[in-house]
Amino acid sequence: MDSLKPYYIRSIHQWAVDNGHTPHVLVDANKPGVNVPDDYVKDGEIVLNVHPQAVASLDLGNEWLMFLARFAGRSYQVEVPVYAVRAVFARENGQGMTFPEVAADLSEVPIRPPRPDMTHSLLRKGPVLRVVK
């Protein structure tokens, strides 16, 4: 039977977006398989803004949360196994859900699905304007 956790993550994410809030996830950055920028990890945790306007190629799957984002102007492909998500909530009011900590069995770490590196094609620095005479 599938875990309810990815379904809770998706539903709270959608609820936050539908109500004009900014969905965030709290991630245990020390869990195996977590790929986040180390410079932003504090006390083994990182809070990630997962609003559709803040990220590209957002995939809230049953085993992985994956998206492209910019940190200090640099593109980064973020990959988080669902078991590493500690909470999902709206930034504006803190409403959401926390999850109990579960010890990861390394033999059960989900295999990261193949995904092309899209950081250059999807995250541009901004629009390019040219003078037309």
Domain spans of the chain, in order of start: 5-122
List the one residue out of 48, 44, 46, 42 whose CA is nearest residue 69.
48
Question: What is the average pLDDT across 80-109?
Answer: 86
Q: The domain 5-122 is classified under which CATH number: 3.40.50.300, 2.30.30.220, 2.30.110.10, 2.60.40.420?
A: 2.30.30.220
How does 75-106 read in b/e, with b if 16+ C-beta sit within 10 Å? Answer: bbbbbbbbbbbbbbbbeeeeebeebeeeebee
pLDDT digits 0-9 by tens, 21-32: 999 999 999 999
pLDDT digits 0-9 by tens, 106-122: 555 566 665 555 544 44
